[in-house]
Structure 1
Amino acid sequence: MPEPKWQKSSYSGATNECVEVRTVDGVVELRESDDGDIVVRTTPAKFAMFVQGIKAGEFDHHGGLNI
């Protein structure tokens, strides 16, 4: 079976500077598109809480950081 493809946000447009996500064997994986060798893995529940935090503005104060 082929590995699931990486998906990026529709907000990214045609740029390659975005975060990509996929699910493999029940684990959510994230990576930065321009440095695909580094992959962060988490559970679906923790990822959902992270996305909720983003939508709620919990990380807006990091806007000036280049992380």
Structure 2
Amino acid sequence: MPDINWQKSSFSGSGNDCVEVRSMNGLVELRESDDGDIILHTTGSAFADLLRTIKVGELDHRA
């Protein structure tokens, strides 16, 4: 699988300890950088909802 268009957060640093994201064929794909063979697929709106939930801290109690 080509590793084109994958983006990682600037908060991830320089190691392989991050989640990467890309838009592909109308879906958002997510993978862990150290295990790139496992890819989660979701819609753009579901991913936007997840990001909003994270930003407002609604999942902090699960950390």
> Which residue type is aligned with residue 50 of structure 1?
L
Paired position in structure 2 for 1:35: 35
Identity %: 58
> Structure 1 44/12 Cα, relative in aligned 2: closer, same or farther at 3 Å?
same
Shift of 1:58: 1.2
Change (3 A) 1:4 1:23: farther
Quote the residue 2:9 is aligned against: 9
Give the unaligned 5+ runs of structure 1: none
1:24 and 1:4, CA in 2 relative to 1: closer, same or farther beyond 3 A? farther
Counterpart CA distance in 2 for 1:8 and 1:56 is 20
Q: Which runs of 5+ in 2 are unaligned?
A: none
Q: Amino acid of the residue matched to residue 35 of structure 1?
A: D
Q: Which amino acid aligns with 1:36?
A: G
Detail structure 1 runs of 4+ shifted over 2 Å in the superposition. Answer: none
Output the CA distance in 1 between the equivalents of 2:25 and 2:3.
10
Per the alignment, do residues 19 and 36 of structure 1 end up closer, same or farther by CA in structure 2, a change over 3 Å counting?
A: same
Shift of 1:4: 4.3
* TM-score, with structure 2 as normaliser: 0.89
TM-score between both structures, scaled by the size of structure 1: 0.84
- Is the alpha carbon distance of 1:28 and 1:37 closer, same or farther for their aligned partners in structure 2, counting shifts above 3 Å? same
